[in-house]
Amino acid sequence: MSDIHSHNPFEAMQARLRAAAHIYGLDDTLFQVFMAPTRSMIVSLPVCMDDGRWEVFTGYRVQHNIARGPAKGGIRYDLNVNLDEIKALAAWMTWKCAVVDVPFGGGKGGIICDPKKLSKPELERLTRRYVAEIMDVIGPDRDVPAPDMGTDSQTMAWVLDTYSMHVRHTENAVVTGKPVGLGGSLGRNEATGRGVLIVAREAMQRLGKPLAGARVAVQGFGNVGSQSARLLHEAGARIVAVSDLNGAIKNDRGLDIHALVKHVTETKSVTGFKGGEAMDRAELLTLAVDILVPAAMENQITEDNAAQIRAKIVVEGANGPTTPEADPILLENGILVVPDILANAGGVTVSYFEWVQNRLGFYWREREVNERLVEYMTHAFHSVFAATDKYKTNPRLGAYILALDRVSQAMHYRGFYA
């Protein structure tokens, strides 16, 4: 597999945008506007480590487009974070929010760090300093962060607290994906995985096959991967392989996902699980399965391995797992790709529900959250495939076109303030 750093995710976003804009016939000024984020912020974060040393971290917050509402997007803690990655993720959020038709624009943030190597107090100090630095650009009506790789509901609780201390009142709508006891929404933790389940079922239906009994491989076993695997397993699919950074395991008869989740909680990795045998991590992507769910990170399906992918359907749980060079190879091989900006939009959809509940001060039952999620995701799925058919293109560009149509309409109504 090629080195992930040889692919620039922002250029990958721009390549899809260029292709979709051409098919859609997008106005050239709007195209230029969408090719760059509206605002990029780089912050320097001095943090006192537990041993008394000071370390200076670099953080980012990018807002790609806010025509349809406040920017919305996660905060990533990872050593590979860089400005182009955050710019790509912010743009994907613009398109994703438009695809599921929630009234947000696109944003994203991140800090270059290895969260596994930091103690909880160090993580807390780093998060609070970051929030203090980006204070002026975030807020319930400006930009609403959420978790992403390396961050979780605890991180969001620190974001909420730091922001609230500065504005002198508790403002829980400043962030989503927070603990339920702090105004988080029921169902948010599993929402991205639940969205993957919903679109996987719709995609199987398009192939005239039931989800029950389908063979599934899942790359990555963090929030998105583990919840997708669990929910697909509970829906009757057979999860035959999963992986994480440490390795991969398989079981042709299907892995016991509940036992595996317990194993991962105890050992922090899927490796060593008694109910499966070890396999090569890269080989997982090329297994002959019905559904492949890449749920780890960008640039996993590239021109180097795309021809070996034997899944019938790829449901992109991660953001940007497929490079633009790999797209035509998958298409040519008749593989149905449910693109990231649709497939993993369950998370931002329930984030929207969380923000709505915070602002109403009225909280929904889990059943209501899940039912509304099914409604939004199913509608989005069919809208993407309607655009795909209308413009005689593939589902990825169909999703971009649907998003471009909605965001450019908002921009037209507003006009340019000069």
Residues marked active site are found at 108
Burial class (CB in 10 A: 0-12, 13-18, 19+), 51: exposed
Which residue from 245, 249, 218 is spatially nearest to 313, judged by alpha carbons? 218
Whose Cβ is closer to ligand NAD: residue 186's or residue 295's?
295
**What is the footprint of ligand NAD within residues 194-233 (CB under 6 A)?**
219-225
For 82, other C-beta atoms within 10 Å of its C-beta total 18
Q: Which of 21, 211, 214, 296 binds ligand NAD (CB under 6 A)?
A: 296
**What is the footprint of ligand NAD within residues 318-357 (CB under 6 A)?**
318-319, 344, 347
Half-sphere exposure of 398 (CA within 13 A, CB side): 21
Beta strands in 67-213 (DSSP E): 71-78, 105-112, 143-147
Q: Which of 66, 111, 295, 336 binds ligand NAD (CB under 6 A)?
A: 295
Q: Which of 149, 156, 293, 330 binds ligand NAD (CB under 6 A)?
A: 149
Whose Cβ is closer to ligand NAD: residue 327's or residue 393's?
327
Task: Quote the CA–CA distance of 124 and 47 in Å, as a whole number.
Answer: 10
Q: Which of 37, 107, 276, 317 binds ligand NAD (CB under 6 A)?
A: 317
Interface with ligand NAD: number of residues (CB under 6 A)? 24
Residue 147 near ligand NAD by CB under 6 A = yes
Residue 105 near ligand NAD by CB under 6 A = no
Single out the segment in contact with ligand NAD by CB under 6 A; choices: 198-206, 239-247, 251-259, 394-402.
239-247
From the CB of 22, what's the least distance to ligand NAD, in Å? 27
Amino acid making up residue 300? Q
- For residues 248 and 232, is the Cβ–Cβ distance under 8 A? no
Residue 92 near ligand NAD by CB under 6 A = no
> Which H/E stretch holds residue 238?
strand 238-244
Which residue from 350, 342, 338, 305 is spatially nearest to 323, judged by alpha carbons? 305
Residue 190 near ligand NAD by CB under 6 A = no
State both tokens at 284: 């997982």
Site for ligand NAD, rule CB under 6 A: 147-150, 192, 219-225, 243-245, 281, 295-297, 317-319, 344, 347
